[in-house]
Amino acid sequence: MELSAENLREKLQRELEAEHVEVEDTTLNRCACSFRVLVVSSKFEGKPLLQRHRLVNACLAEELPHIHAFEQKTLTPEQWTRERQK
């Protein structure tokens, strides 16, 4: 398993049926051990923040033990539309 922003993005998009996914490697030397993600998925509809984060964590259960820092933002498509209009 190769840890990369692109691999994480593809997996999140596929498994969470995400409308939009951004993954940024925030490690200073880009060594793929620290990431910031934004996931927009209708699977988050009606779920509180903790449940949304658990869905993301479950999706990346194989990768998370190898990641030192992980920041996530999870939005529904409606929230994403509102946020982009700001």
Q: What is the pLDDT of residue 59?
A: 98
Provide the pLDDT for residue 1: 63
DSSP H helices, 1-86, are 5-15, 49-59, 77-85
Q: What is the pLDDT of residue 30?
A: 65
28 occurs within a structural domain: yes
Residue 56 lies in a domain: yes
The pLDDT assigned to 28 comes to: 81
Q: What angle do CA 35, 58, 78 make, to 5 degrees?
A: 75
State which residues form the domain around 34: 5-80
Number of domains comprising the chain: 1
The structure's pTM equals 0.92
**40 touches 77 (CB < 8 A):** yes
Walk along the chain (86 residues) in steps of 10 and give the mean pLDDT of each run: 89 98 88 90 98 98 94 98 92
**pLDDT attached to residue 33:** 86
80 Cβ partners below 8 Å, 6+ apart? 19, 20, 40
Task: Tell me, yes or no, whether 85 lies in a domain.
Answer: no
